[in-house]
Chains A and B, each alone.
Chain A
Amino acid sequence: MAAAAAGSLRRAGWRLWRGRAGLRCQLYAPQQGLHASAALRRASEEQRKDPPPSPSTQQQYDPQQTDPHPEQEAWNPQSSYTGQGGQQSEDYESEEQLQHRILTAALEFVPEHGWTAEAIAEGAKTLGLSAAAAGMFHSDGSELILHFVSQCNSKLSDLLEEEQKQVQLGEAEKKPTDQFLRDAVEARLRMVIPYIEKWPQAVSILLLPHNIPSSLNLLTSMIDDIWHHAGDQSTDINWYTRRAVLTGIYNTTELVMMQDTSPDFEDTWRFLENRVADAMNMSSAAQQVQSTGKALAQGLMGAAVTITNLTGLNQRR
């Protein structure tokens, strides 16, 4: 009861603050009265009328915005109203962005609650929303996992871009392919380490039928990304074989990592090294087989001609 009273006092306080914000934002849509939640309603109406605002159009609405990444964080009508990550106004944000924010906040509760709706509810609570906001997502936590995976993939992508830029600028040496693949896969798998205890649960949820399209999509785009940055420019069957091989390496290494208990996952990285080496050998082995086959075929042809000559069956000469 005391908690509820404190909560309502706090909310009354925020309401006053937001009411002031509502007063100053009167130029936007004076139809509603100066209701405490008028700002939110106005913003949601505006969003429904216009298509979801791009960052550039958002710039027009708020010249005082201090955050350089408007699409990542919500932003405030005046600079004095900046909460330190907590009770920020969601007024000018689309639903998607808010969902992303909730999921990102939920990630820190995953080690405790697992990849579940409870973690999402806790995440929503840290943003100042009610726990009922977790109802926006599926109750098995799939959106949380997909969000995390796509976040990791974009982090990996940024990392690879950085490396490429450095190589272009001449600050770093261009790595040989196997080293590059090893480093990329290791970097990507290291992002999973903080959640490694609940990761098996995540993998099993990603394999549910209704999640397979999205998870497969994320996996293939990540592998494609790695190969692209590794400098793959093949246009024949190699394109497919390379990606298939790397997907296999990635998946098996992930499985090994999940039950690896060595310090800093040394066994996993050694396993990865061996698999990549196998893959490289496989391609040279394939070439060797091809050339051996050719040589063998030539040899057999030659032997056949010699025999026909010797036995006099070859009447042509």
Chain B
Amino acid sequence: MAAGLRPGRALLSRRRGALCALLRAARGLAARPETHFGFQNVTEAERREKIYQVFENVAEKYDVMNDSMSLGIHRVWKDILVHKMNPSPGTLLVDVAGGTGDIAFRFLNYVRSVRERQLQQKLRNHQNLSWQEISKSYQEEKSNPLGDSQVVVCDINKEMLKAGMQKAQHLGYSEGLSWVLGNAEELPFDDDKFDVYTIAFGIRNVTRIDLALQEAYRVLKPGGRFLCLEFSHVSNPLLSRLYDLYSFQVIPVLGEVIAGDWKSYQYLVESIRRFPPQEELKAMIEDAGFLKVDYQNLNSGIVAIHSGFKL
């Protein structure tokens, strides 16, 4: 796994990473496609392999760890994402790197409540309904509570999908939900299929972000929306110092204590630092062809939601 990374040497690994970067710059461009895994430099194939293993290891304790690391705030972030999406009934959503299904469940809840409100509004507007019409509308509510909305959860990692399916069963979500194994850089879907494409805390782990963005563009219908929720760059210097302190000192320890896996959470915090900042990601999204690209910082940059439209 991560060579030379021992528990408690977080600082050393950072210096080593910086040294590696210097060496690489001195050498000039490497021959093989070099990319990063946290603060190490690895080939693309190695990176994919390592990331797969990381998520295989954390799949079972993923939700618990999310809650403990972000002090439960990740739920608010995901709620804000779905609120921003404001899906109407009949929307087709693909949640890529959706793993344990957080976004998918929130989407289903939202769409269900919008549908209920729509049916209530319809009843209220028509004031001279016969008993037949009223009972028909109640039947409609029971037979089609989601209004034909569907969500496809796509993830590259089988363990994460398994954990998600178990959670869905446990929470009672069955309708309008499907689970697909797939790579974000090469989605197993047709062109022009989905209304909304979301990727929450997943695009950081994709090796070729530009390919993933191009795939997103491909599978979206004209008028479709791309939404990306991801850790991003904090510009406030004081907050940035506190955040770094918390990330590098507290999170790997939590990982060891709760999930028994220091290295995976070390990778997590390092990968956040290596991810492009808001403006750069915005430029990459525009390059893939999206229009009206914009981002919204949550918690002053700890997390950012990027949004773009295929027009």
Please determine whether chains A and B interact with each other in the same assembly. Answer: yes
List residues of chain A with CB under 8 Å of any chain B CB: 3-4, 8, 11-12, 15, 35-37, 40-41, 44-45, 48, 90, 95, 98, 117-118, 121, 124, 127-136, 139
Q: Is the CB of A117 within 8 A of B86?
A: yes
Docked Cα-Cα span, A40 to B88, in Å, equals 26
Docked Cα-Cα span, A90 to B217, in Å, equals 16
Q: Kindly state whether residue B191 has any CB partner on chain A within 8 Å.
A: yes
Interface segment, one of B53-61, B69-77, B179-187, B286-294: B286-294
**Chain B residue with the shortest CB-CB distance to A35:** B218
Q: Could you say which of A12, A36, A130, A134 has the most chain B C-beta atoms within 10 Å of its C-beta?
A: A130
CB<8 Å pairs between A and B, sample of 14: A8-B193, A12-B190, A35-B218, A37-B217, A37-B218, A129-B222, A129-B223, A129-B311, A130-B223, A130-B224, A132-B91, A132-B195, A132-B221, A134-B88
Contacts A40-B311, A44-B311, A139-B86: A130 and B291 contacting too (C-beta < 8 A)? no
Known contacts A129-B311, A132-B87, A135-B85; 7 further A-B pairs (Cβ under 8 A): A15-B192, A118-B88, A127-B223, A128-B222, A130-B223, A135-B307, A135-B309
What are the residues of chain A within 8 A of B92 when measuring CB–CB? 4
Q: Is the CB of A36 within 8 A of B191?
A: yes
Q: Is the CB of A132 within 8 A of B223?
A: yes
Q: Is the CB of B292 within 8 A of A95?
A: yes
What are the residues of chain B within 8 A of A8 when measuring CB–CB? 190, 192-193
Docked Cα-Cα span, A129 to B220, in Å, equals 11
Q: Kindly state whether residue B306 has any CB partner on chain A within 8 Å.
A: no
What are the residues of chain A within 8 A of B191 when measuring CB–CB? 11, 15, 36-37
Docked Cα-Cα span, A44 to B288, in Å, equals 10
What are the residues of chain A within 8 A of B289 when measuring CB–CB? 37, 40-41, 44-45
What are the residues of chain B within 8 A of A130 when measuring CB–CB? 195-196, 220-225
Interface positions, chain B 125-143, Cβ under 8 Å from A, are none
**Chain B residue with the shortest CB-CB distance to A118:** B88
In the assembled complex, the CB of A222 is this many whole angstroms from the nearest CB of chain B, namely: 29
Docked Cα-Cα span, A37 to B215, in Å, equals 12
Q: Kindly state whether residue B90 has any CB partner on chain A within 8 Å.
A: yes
Docked Cα-Cα span, A214 to B190, in Å, equals 43
In the assembled complex, the CB of A43 is this many whole angstroms from the nearest CB of chain B, namely: 10
Docked Cα-Cα span, A15 to B191, in Å, equals 9
In the assembled complex, the CB of B310 is this many whole angstroms from the nearest CB of chain A, namely: 8
Q: Is the CB of B222 within 8 A of A90?
A: yes
Contacts A36-B191, A37-B191, A44-B311: A131 and B88 contacting too (C-beta < 8 A)? yes
